[in-house]
Chain A
Amino acid sequence: MNSMSTTLARTLASAVVTAAALSGCAMMCGARKCGGCTAVQKCGASKCGACKAKKCGACGAKK
């Protein structure tokens, strides 16, 4: 009985704890919304701040 939750507890005891996320793009341009990868128009740079922030309408709302 309750074998699945026992397995889960045992698994969690050995799980790696991932550190909190580092701050990303402060500009929060439109390309940094939460859409799927094939949908978003990527900045072209892996690090934010390099983006051109063409669509900054979302900036104020996100932070």
Chain B
Amino acid sequence: MSRPCAVIGVGQTRYAAKRQDKSLAGLVREAADAAMLDAGLDWQQIDAVVIGKAPDFFEGVMMPEHHLAAALGAVGKPMIRVHTAGSVGGSTAVVASHLIQAGVHQRVLCLAFEIQSCSNAMWALSPPYPFQPPTVAGAGGYFAPLMRAYMHRAKAPKDTGWKVVIKDRRNALKNPLAHIQSEPTLEQCAQAPVLWDPINYLETCPSSDGACAMILASESAAKEAPNPPAFVQGTALRSEPIFFPGRDQVSPQAGIDCAADLYRQAQITDPLAELDMAELYVPFSWFEPMWLENLGFAEPGDGWRLVEDGVTDFGGALPVNVSGGVLSSNPIGASGMIRFAEAALQVRGLAGAHQVDGVRRAMGHAYGGGSQFFAMWVVGDTPMAS
């Protein structure tokens, strides 16, 4: 009963520390216009809009989708605003795909954005709220202990994290939209100031402004699209609580279950062999080997080997984050959708200088909260046979 859903347009802004050259509306339109151009559509052809972003305190506008109705051509249309913490960019795309798969709409614009330069990311993420534990130290302070635990469990070499950074930043040099456009050396990585031990400054995502948009369409609407579509072959969402006894925060069950649901839909039994590339949500270097294990690309304890062996390099068997990843551009509300969109661009052959040859199936992955919310999709060059 679930109908095929295709990605027929992708648009992204240039990501930067400050995109104060445009207003809120202007910046989201930069991404939306690019997606509409790619899809060859006029505004009246869009049936519904699904928008996602992280906490409204970043921009200080409550429910900004109301203010953005005209900019997104949403006047007179249904509009939904998704908020699932860091995974929101991904879950927004999933919610939008649900509308197509349910047959409710033919063409849906989904968009995710964040303008972090309006305020301060650390303040917006963890303001000094009463009755909270007094130990907030930003996202890095929360995740660094998990990375320490992984390094200990897997007995991984110290330079794995640095290799991830170098890879992602090198990839970003081929992506003119990426925020960080510089590739560090191994020595620079080794000597960068430590922010939250064991994670240093270079192993940490930037704070970026930007927006990402996609046009999702039914199979019949996709046939009219000027550029090749990518077909959604599976979507999955999973959540778990942040604290419970015995919780594995390094490889959360929610991530494992989410991937299992996804692979079942996409009929994947060996993700390493059957996927041609992946865009994974890696905001701190060590999350790449951690997610590789969590998603079944590697056995527990072996994720770092894929990095060390160059498997996830641009030219490797499973290129990961050829867009530069979250380590190179991080408008928090949009980062999840950027993963999904970049996976779609790869399948469509439209990734330009960072296009990997011969991508037929790709994965987009996003996570949020205390590694507790997961949103994933697989896109491919054909719809799944039903």
Query: Do these two chains interact?
Result: no
